[in-house]
Amino acid sequence: MGPRLNLIAAACENMGIGIKGRLPWKLKSEMAYFTKMTSQTKDPNKKNAVIMGRKTWQSIPLKYRPLADRVNVVLSSNKIEVDDDVLLCSSLEMAMAQLQQPPLGETIETVWVIGGSSVYKESLNMPECHRIYLTNVKALYECDTFFPEILPAFKLLQDPDVPQGEQEENGVKYEYKVYEKDLKD
Ligand SMILES: NC(=O)c1ccc[n+]([C@@H]2O[C@H](COP(=O)([O-])OP(=O)(O)OC[C@H]3O[C@@H](n4cnc5c(N)ncnc54)[C@H](OP(=O)(O)O)[C@@H]3O)[C@@H](O)[C@H]2O)c1
């Protein structure tokens, strides 16, 4: 079996995830959680990959991209300029294929889809899609980009790596949720 595919996102009460090419909120601990979850591996010899759409890539401040200690994959139908160590792919299938073939194949533990909307939607329908790490931001923000519907095949579960219960930062309450779909062998 190839690497598992997980999604990670933070969405507010209307399932909004973005506004005008940026995040609607500033939650430092939530961002640290994103970094931890997408970076940590069980096998110290392996790395994770992060797959993102071109707009999400461009939304990351220059000093933080490529995202450290992860194989960065950017989806675009155009030949955009990216750093040498970033994989530019013209489809999600191509990205997944490259992450499963040599030389990367043996070195990737988990593939994380980190947005935006259409990339989440497409990956949710892939058979290897295993878990959704969704931060439920308990407030309403004006958004122009949204997380897609979570299908009933995904059930809530408790992950020991994930802080339980309500979190709060700058007066904003939020909770880390994890959904899982059974993978067919
Ligand atoms: N809250 C969160 O967790 C979270 C996470 C991520 C992003 N965001 C926010 O969401 C917004 C950005 O997301 P978005 O949905 O607008 O855009 P996006 O998905 O990041 O980027 C869309 C672009 O990605 C490329 N693309 C997407 N799917 C592709 C595919 N299958 N094959 C080839 N290219 C593909 C296309 O680029 P080309 O046009 O170049 O072909 C497309 O125009 C920002 O506001 C960002 O801050 C929030």
Ramachandran class of 85: left when φ > 0, alpha when ψ lies in -120 to 50, beta otherwise: alpha
Please indicate whether residue 78, judged by its CB atom, sits closer than 6 Å to ligand 1: yes
Phi, psi (rounded to 5 degrees) for 39: -95, -35
Q: pLDDT of 143-182, one tens digit each?
A: 999 999 999 999 999 999 899 999 999 999 999 999 999 8
pLDDT of residue 140: 98
Please give the share of the chain, as a percent, with pLDDT higher than 90.
Answer: 91
Domain positions in the chain: 4-180
- Rounded Cα gap, residues 111 and 104, in angstroms: 12
- pLDDT at position 26 over 60: yes
pLDDT of residue 3: 83
Let me know if 30 is a catalytic residue: yes
Please say whether the beta carbons of 96 and 111 come within 8 A: yes
Please indicate whether residue 94, judged by its CB atom, sits closer than 6 Å to ligand 1: no
Best probe residue, ligand 1, of 19, 75, 91, 125 (max atoms within 8 Å of C-beta): 75
Give the mean pLDDT of 100-129. 94
CA 3 from chain center: how many Å? 15
Let me know if 104 is a catalytic residue: no
- pLDDT at position 185 over 60: no
Please indicate whether residue 9, judged by its CB atom, sits closer than 6 Å to ligand 1: yes
Q: Which residue has the tokens 């809530």?
A: 156
- pLDDT at position 2 over 90: no
Under CATH, domain 4-180 is a member of which superfamily? Dihydrofolate Reductase, subunit A (3.40.430.10)
Q: Which is the catalytic residue, given 27, 30, 92, 134?
A: 30
Ramachandran class of 2: left when φ > 0, alpha when ψ lies in -120 to 50, beta otherwise: beta
Please, which pLDDT band fits residue 184 given cuts at 50, 70 and 90? low
Taking the CA of residue 144 as reference, the ligand 1 atom at the shortest distance is: 45
Give the mean pLDDT of 25-51. 97
Please say whether the beta carbons of 8 and 133 come within 8 A: yes
CA–centroid distance, residue 55 to ligand 1 (Å): 4
Per-chain mean pLDDT for the chain: 95
pLDDT of residue 51: 98
Q: pLDDT of 39-89, one tens digit each?
A: 999 999 999 999 999 999 999 999 999 999 999 999 999 999 999 999 999
CA contacts within 13 A on the Cβ side of 17: 20
Best probe residue, ligand 1, of 64, 114, 118, 125 (max atoms within 8 Å of C-beta): 118
pLDDT of residue 136: 98
